[in-house]
Amino acid sequence: MPKKTNFYPVILAGGRGTRFWPMSRKKRAKQLLALNGRQTMIQQTVARLLPLSGASKIWVITNDDLRPGIRRQLPRVPAAQIIAEPLGRNTAPAIGLAAFILQRLDPAAVLGLFPSDHVIADQEQYRRLVRRAVEIAASGPNIVTLGISPSGPETGYGYIEAGAAVESGASGFAAGSDVLRVCRFAEKPDRARAEQFLKAGNYYWNSGMFVWSAATLAQAMHEHLPATAKLLEKIAAAYGTSAFRSTFARLYPRCENISIDYAVLEPRSQKGAEASAIFCLPSEIGWNDLGSWTALYEHRLAEGAGTDDAANVIDGQQSFALNASGNYVYSPTKFVAVVGIKDLVVVETPDALLITTREHAQDVGKVVKYLDEKKLLKLV
C-alpha cells in the first residue's frame, strides 16, 4: 500500500438478500447471516479488509432496518461511518455519497467498493490485488475492477471484456501483464453467449469490486449523473453536522435509482479502452457471491462441509439419507431424514418452510415479493 495514500473500503450492505428467504429477513438480511463459517458475511468482509486499512477507515452504507444489527456485529467500525440510506437508490448514489463525503474529509482518499456478502478463499492473493488496485487508482483518474477468471459459462454474472495489457510508460503507474485495459462491460448473457465469452479467453466475471480515488468518482458522477451529483454534494456538506439526517432524508430520495455499472462504468468504457482509463486485474481468489441457496449448496459441496457420498449437504443435528442425492437441507435443530429425493432445497426456520429445487432456487425472491404484496410483514 503506498505510504501517502489513504485507502477507505466502502462496504455496500443495504440489500435484503431475498433469494435466501426464509433465513434472510428485512432486519437480519443475508449479510448478517453466518452462511459460510462462524462469522457472518459482513464480518468476513471486514476481517479480510482490516489489514489494508484498519477499522477507522471502513465505511458501511446500509438501511435503517439493518443498521442496528451491523453496529452490533461491527463494534470496531465507527458508528458515524455506518450510514443508513433513507431510501434505497441502488449502488451509484450510495458509493457516490461516500466519494463526496470522503473527498471533503481527505482529498487524497482512495475508495474501494465492496459488496458485503462475498466469499473469498485466497485472502492473501485478494489483498495483494487490492493493494495493486489502490496503487493504480492513486496514480491518476483511473478506475480499477477485480475481474474473476471464469470457471464456466455462467449466465448469472455480468462480464468484463478485457483488452491488451498496459505497456510500460503508457500510464502513471508500474505497468505489467497483470493489468489489462477494459474494452467494455457486458450484461448477463444467455448460455450460448456465455460459452462464446469463455472460448474467447479475454472475458472475466464482473465481481462488483471497484477501486478509484474519491476525486475520480466524484468527477465521474458530475459527468454522468449531474443532477444526482449536486444532491449528493449538498448531503455530503452536511455530514458531521446536526443537519445531516434531515438533509439526507430530504434530498437522497431525489437521487436517480441506478447502479454504478449503468451510470458510470458502461458509458465511460464506451470512450475506448485507452481513453476510459478503466483497468481490470484478473483475479483467481476463490470468489463466490453466494447469490442463492443453489450457490451456497455448490460452495459447501466444493468445501466438503456437511456433505455425504451422494452429494447431499445437510445442516441438521443428525441426518440419514437413503436413495437421495444432490439435496441441500437446512434444519439445524432437528434430525433430518432424506429418502428417495433428488436435487431439492429445503430450509426450515421457526415460522416458515421453503421447499424448492436447486434449479428454481433463483426464484425464491418471488416469495418475498408475494409476502410484501400480501402485507405478511412478520414473514419478511
Amino acid identity of residue 351, one-letter, is D
Among the listed residues 315, 290, 269, 331, the one whose alpha carbon sits nearest the alpha carbon of residue 31: 290
Confidence check: pLDDT of 39 > 80:
yes
Residue 2: pLDDT band (50, 70, 90) is: very low
Q: What are the φ/ψ torsions at residue 355 (nearest 5 degrees)?
A: -130, 120
* Sign of CA pseudo-dihedral 292, 294, 298, 300: positive
Mean pLDDT of 158-178: 81
Query: How many domains does one find in the chain?
Result: 2
Report yes or no on 124 lying in a domain: yes
Non-local CB neighbours of 156 within 8 Å, separated by 6+ positions: 188, 291, 362
Asked whether residue 190 falls in the same domain as residue 80, the answer is yes
**pTM tops 0.85:** yes
Confidence check: pLDDT of 279 > 80:
yes
Mean pLDDT of 280-302: 93
Mean pLDDT of 304-329: 91
Tell me, what CATH number does 277's domain have?
A: 3.90.550.10
What is the share, in percent, of the chain residues with pLDDT greater than 70? Answer: 98
What pLDDT sits at residue 113?
Answer: 98
**End position of a domain, from candidates 257, 288, 319:** 288
Among the listed residues 350, 315, 355, 354, the one whose alpha carbon sits nearest the alpha carbon of residue 335: 315
For the CA atoms of 334, 340, 346, 351, the dihedral, rounded to the nearest 10 degrees, stands at -50
Mean pLDDT of 354-369: 96
- The mean of the pLDDT values for the chain is 94
Beta strand pairing call for 278-283 and 59-63: unpaired
Asked whether residue 284 falls in the same domain as residue 323, the answer is no
Asked whether residue 284 falls in the same domain as residue 138, the answer is yes
Residue 171: pLDDT band (50, 70, 90) is: low
Mean pLDDT of 288-316: 90
**End position of a domain, from candidates 288, 303, 335:** 288
Number of H helices, E strands in the chain: 13, 15
Start-to-end CA span in the chain (Å): 42
Report yes or no on 327 lying in a domain: yes
pLDDT digits (tens, 9 = 90+) for 190-208: 999 999 999 999 999 999 9
Asked whether residue 361 falls in the same domain as residue 253, the answer is no
Report yes or no on 26 lying in a domain: yes
Across-strand partners of 344? Answer: 357
Residue 275: pLDDT band (50, 70, 90) is: confident
What pLDDT sits at residue 169?
Answer: 60
What pLDDT sits at residue 1?
Answer: 45
Domain ranges, residue 138 = 6-288
What pLDDT sits at residue 271?
Answer: 87
**Residue 215, all three cell numbers:** 476525486
How many whole angstroms separate alpha carbon 81 and alpha carbon 98? 10
**End position of a domain, from candidates 268, 288, 308:** 288
Asked whether residue 150 falls in the same domain as residue 43, the answer is yes
What pLDDT sits at residue 101?
Answer: 98
Asked whether residue 275 falls in the same domain as residue 297, the answer is no
CA distances from 300 to 33, 181, 290, 310 (A): 15, 34, 10, 14
Asked whether residue 251 falls in the same domain as residue 320, the answer is no
Residue 128: pLDDT band (50, 70, 90) is: very high
Asked whether residue 132 falls in the same domain as residue 201, the answer is yes
Report yes or no on 1 lying in a domain: no
What pLDDT sits at residue 186?
Answer: 92
What pLDDT sits at residue 5?
Answer: 63
What pLDDT sits at residue 233?
Answer: 98
Place of cell 435509482: 257
Residue 107: pLDDT band (50, 70, 90) is: very high
Report yes or no on 247 lying in a domain: yes
Report yes or no on 214 lying in a domain: yes
C-alpha 330, offset from chain centre: 24
Confidence check: pLDDT of 3 > 60:
no
